Structure 1
Amino acid sequence: MKRQQGVVLVFALLVLLSLTIVGVSAVSSSLNQTKMAVSMQQSGMAFDAAESALAGVFFESEDEQILSDAARLDPLSEARQQPAFDPQVQTLRCSDVAWTDRKVTKDGLSSNTVHTVDAMYQDEVSAKSWSKTAFIREQACRGSSNVIGGSNLSCHVFAIRGCGQLSGHKTIVANTASAAVLAPAAN
């Protein structure tokens, strides 16, 4: 009988050990999933900031009040006055200072405003949102319209990089768009 009681004790200890291992692995897995969810949420917030920076460039470039004011330039016109960007040789980085810079803050986008104020995009998570715009080239416009082909217009091509970063994080999330704008051909 004593021998059987010892076997039951060993069996009970093995069951208890296996339940402990399963419990610890479940807690560990849960913690890892929580970390991944937080990381994805933060990455999503930074991406939203980058997307708003792209939208800010287009918003400001279509603002009739800025376009009609000779003293101010929209981001595309300002980028057009800088040296051309060669995507084969250069990289349009969020940290570059050479390219046209615009910022989006928690105050949002306003007509008749050149958005250069450096402030937080949102306070809840402390994120920043900014863009870099560079002129790439002037080229003949493609399309079926004879008006475009026969006129003194050309397409001015730009690269626009929207950038977003959460405070306390080294990683910058970026998204890039290109834009072609009808403009008078350079002579």
Structure 2
Amino acid sequence: MTTPLSPPSPSPGGRRRLLRAIGNSWLLRHGGPHLLPRLDRCFHRWTRGRWMPSRLLVPVLILYTARRDGTACRTPLLAGRIAPDTFIVMATNFGRPRHPAWSWHLLREPHATVHWRGRSWPVQARLLSPEEQREVREEILAAMPCFDDYARRSGRDIRVFVLRPTSVHVSAPGRHLN
């Protein structure tokens, strides 16, 4: 039910077209990689994990990984929720030619921590094969309608990971994280 003050929700097809257009806009592709993660991290800290600007359009989680030197790294990521506490994340890097650092971190050390809407829990990442990516294609496109455009623009195979809850606990994220 809509009230006079709330706009009607777009249809799923309309929402996908809108998100694809936004994702392919020059402004987002060029400014997004530099501005959005910083804004999301700041608002995540200020609201104690309850809100980030990117969530106005897409579901976003914070992924805590470890860099090669062992220091902690926190990265806001667009995520598709495929089961309770289980997510799918795509390493599109806004369609740029290089894989994002967080995907290298997960390949080296698949244990990480996810922060989603005020809660944190340990996860284990698993890289999906091309066949597995085809099996979850609808979930990928539902979360990121511009996935194919980014893959084409990047000229590389996009890494897609499933993040599943695990009992292995990773050290809690501290305030010193970037």
State the TM-score, normalized to the length of structure 2.
0.28
Report the structure number with the largest CA radius of gyration.
1
State the TM-score, normalized to the length of structure 1.
0.27
